[in-house]
Structure 1
Amino acid sequence: MGYRVAVAGATGAVGRELLRILAERNFPIDEIVALASPKSVGREISFGDKKVLKVQNLETFDFKGWDLALFSPGGAVSAKYAPKAAEAGCIVIDNTSHFRMEPGIPLVVPEVNPTSLQKAKRGIIANPNCSTAQMVVALKPLNDLFKIKRVVVSTYQAVSGAGKSGMDELFAQSKGSFVNDPPAVEQFTKQIAFNVIPHIDRFMEDGATKEEWKMAVETRKILDPDIQVFATCVRVPVFIGHSEAVSIECEKPVDLKKAREALRNAPGVILRDEREDGGYVTPIECVGEDATYVSRLRVDPTVENGLAFWCVSDNLRKGAALNAVQIAESLVEQGLVKKHADASNA
């Protein structure tokens, strides 16, 4: 017997990926429903190779009798409807930023802190920021070995992190450049085609952007409250796949051989670090893949106990939808999901 699963925000880029990954990984489902805003009601959306779902209205949906809800409809919408789903007895896994730093709501990457799921007292579990998720998967085995004190990271984030509209804007600007059409700048603060923009999310009082703040506070909540993180987050003209250049400073002396071995054996990590042309992974190669790929691993001699690496991951998968589905799988494995009777019999 499987579970009754709702996907909220099903028509968006992450929502579609959630449906695709649930089918790919054969998550035990008896019944599934796709939810979105009223303007999307009645649209058809694929679930696996054979099944087509008709989108239902999130605003009027009754979550009573449903076991799991995977939310990705935007922060304001999650803020309103995720608590309603949880109050109805449905466990919510929310992909927006709204609940991440709230007390009593676990922020989870299953390869890093799966036991935090047992602290989900409010029925809501938060999925981290896409750039944070891939980084902490790579940091976890290194922190276990060397105890990380400080992280300095520069991200190179794909436009899909801004949703389908961001991808559409990159495509339109790139196409327009060949016929001398002036670029329409709507989703980003400047032209993104053939450019990089050192600005993701809004600016805060200290000069950091909120995306940079998220990486710092989320890493501490997921991995270790004592780790200091300094991030610079950059949007780049790549459709899918976030990249990060990461430098860490550790309490214990680093050993490159031990670091390689730990990364090779770490869940969710694939190490490809060949010191030759092409002996590293780039974002275009990680699209559709589940792992965080680590390359360019080397000692940083400019700080005591320093280590540096490059990592890439599909931001729509590990950075969003895949991690949410893995949380659902971990909940099932730990016996934390209570199956409800069919709503018609409830």
Structure 2
Amino acid sequence: MKKYNVAILGATGAVGKEFLNLIEERNFPFNELKLLASSRSAGKKIDFMGKTYIVEEAKPESFENVQIALFAGGAASKTLAPGAVRHGAVVIDNSSAFRMEPEVPLVIPEVNPEAIKQHKGIIANPNCSTIIMLMALKPIYDKVKIKRVVVSTYQAVSGAGKEAIDELNEQVIDYLHDRPIKANVLPGASLSKHYQIAFNLLPQIDVFVDGGYTKEEMKMVHETHKILQDDTIGISPTTVRVPVYRSHSEAINIELEGPLSVQEARELIAAFPGVIVEDNPAEMIYPMPLFTSGKNDVAVGRIREDKSVPYGLNIWVVGDQIRKGAALNALQIAEYMVGHNLV
């Protein structure tokens, strides 16, 4: 099997580390591996598959002789991706920098793999919440056209980075020791005001935009329309940060344009690759973040009829946003390219 020179940008972060875990787990065919990060992390050592790698500072020339560049996300994507492409690499990017660019495919391999073939050097990973939602919606959408979606997300702190995880830890410890609780990270480190996340919910992820929605919410709208190539679907999202370490959850109400029974929906979802059904209310079986963390599959449960509209369903969806919501989705794109000789 042909092997490829791979670079990971953001190798020391949560998504970068997950890239490494998945490359080993899935036996991805790499030849040389470059681990890249900001100047702050340059020089760190990472042991991987019996070899010690030195993390290099990411520069445009870092991508010389690289065929596949996995970008973990962040501001560096915008500046480094074009240079990586000029050096001959295909960039698979986890940031929001290129998602809505018309010439950049926005891809979930189980949902729209054909879009990968249209790339011009950069392929974008969708937002984690969009990926988790569409993994559950696509099998339904393929059977019966979706008219409207109302989605509320319950997003883990790891989606906001290591600093948010550390802050939740510190706040819980301070609470248990009756010490003053400090908040410096959430809803966003760059914002003028911060709130406690321990024992609390924050109905803001990212900044507010026109109409009172947040950027995170509007990402779910615009990205869904682009991926499905259908902007007729009405989408009303509310995104919420919750004091959970890992795995995002979503309560999704679906209004269809025709009939679909609960049993049919359950069978369609169960047959879709990358999705499992955990749905037995009598035995209190339903998806939970605690049990989806570290797993590749998106789990769907609480599948039931919404009797308030002619053709309605409610579902509950949970997925590991660092795996399927980020690193796994990107690596699956790379695997598709390798399998179809697109690199």
TM-score class normalised by the smaller sequence: over 0.9
**Greater shift in the superposed pair: 212-221 or 54-63:** 54-63
1:246-257 → structure 2 map (5 Å cutoff): 246-257=252-263
1:145-184 → structure 2 map (5 Å cutoff): 145-184=143-182
SS at match of 1:62: helix
Q: Size of the alignment, in residue pairs?
A: 334
For 1:330, the equivalent position in structure 2 comes to 336
Q: Does 1:9 align with 2:10?
A: yes
1:299-322 deviation line (CA, Å, top 9, x unaligned): 111112111100100111001111
C-alpha distance in structure 2 between counterparts of 1:47 and 1:140, whole Å: 36
For 1:120, the equivalent position in structure 2 comes to 119
For 1:46, the equivalent position in structure 2 comes to 47
Displacement, 1:73?
4.3
Amino acid at match of 2:179: D
Displacement, 1:116?
0.2
For 2:228, the equivalent position in structure 1 comes to 223
For 1:57, the equivalent position in structure 2 comes to 57
Displacement, 1:277?
4.5
C-alpha distance in structure 2 between counterparts of 1:224 and 1:269, whole Å: 22
For 1:343, the equivalent position in structure 2 comes to none
C-alpha distance in structure 1 between counterparts of 2:37 and 2:5, whole Å: 17
**Greater shift in the superposed pair: 192-201 or 275-284:** 275-284
C-alpha distance in structure 2 between counterparts of 1:60 and 1:27, whole Å: 24
C-alpha distance in structure 2 between counterparts of 1:99 and 1:302, whole Å: 39
SS at match of 1:196: coil
For 1:34, the equivalent position in structure 2 comes to 35
Q: Does 1:282 align with 2:288?
A: yes
SS at match of 2:7: strand
Distance 1:331 1:211, change over 3 A: same
CA contact (8 A) 2:71 2:93 kept: yes
C-alpha distance in structure 2 between counterparts of 1:321 and 1:46, whole Å: 19
For 2:214, the equivalent position in structure 1 comes to 209
SS at match of 1:31: strand
SS at match of 2:195: coil
For 1:340, the equivalent position in structure 2 comes to none
CA contact (8 A) 1:45 1:53 kept: yes
For 2:95, the equivalent position in structure 1 comes to 96
CA contact (8 A) 1:37 1:59 kept: no
SS at match of 1:279: coil
CA contact (8 A) 1:38 1:59 kept: no
1:238-253 → structure 2 map (5 Å cutoff): 238-253=244-259
Runs of 4+ in 1 over 2 A off after TM superposition: 59-62
Displacement, 1:257?
1.7
Displacement, 1:36?
0.4
Displacement, 1:59?
2.3
Displacement, 1:51?
2.9
For 1:263, the equivalent position in structure 2 comes to 269
Distance 1:73 1:142, change over 3 A: closer
**Greater shift in the superposed pair: 326-335 or 90-99:** 326-335
Q: Unaligned 5+ residue runs, structure 2?
A: 187-193
C-alpha distance in structure 2 between counterparts of 1:278 and 1:167, whole Å: 29
CA contact (8 A) 1:2 1:29 kept: yes
1:25-81 deviation line (CA, Å, top 9, x unaligned): 100011111000112111012334x2332101102643121100001241x210000
C-alpha distance in structure 2 between counterparts of 1:269 and 1:66, whole Å: 32
Amino acid at match of 1:228: G
Amino acid at match of 1:117: I
**Greater shift in the superposed pair: 256-265 or 280-289:** 256-265
CA contact (8 A) 1:12 1:73 kept: no
Identity across matched positions, percent: 50
Displacement, 1:87?
1.2
CA contact (8 A) 2:73 2:93 kept: no
For 2:189, the equivalent position in structure 1 comes to none
For 1:200, the equivalent position in structure 2 comes to 205
CA contact (8 A) 2:61 2:83 kept: no
Displacement, 1:216?
0.6
SS at match of 2:123: strand
SS at match of 1:280: coil
Q: Does 1:109 align with 2:108?
A: yes
1:108-134 deviation line (CA, Å, top 9, x unaligned): 00000000001102x000001011101
SS at match of 1:21: helix
For 1:320, which of 316, 326, 330 is the aligned residue? 326
Distance 1:277 1:175, change over 3 A: farther
Q: Provide the TM-score with structure 1 as the length reference.
A: 0.94
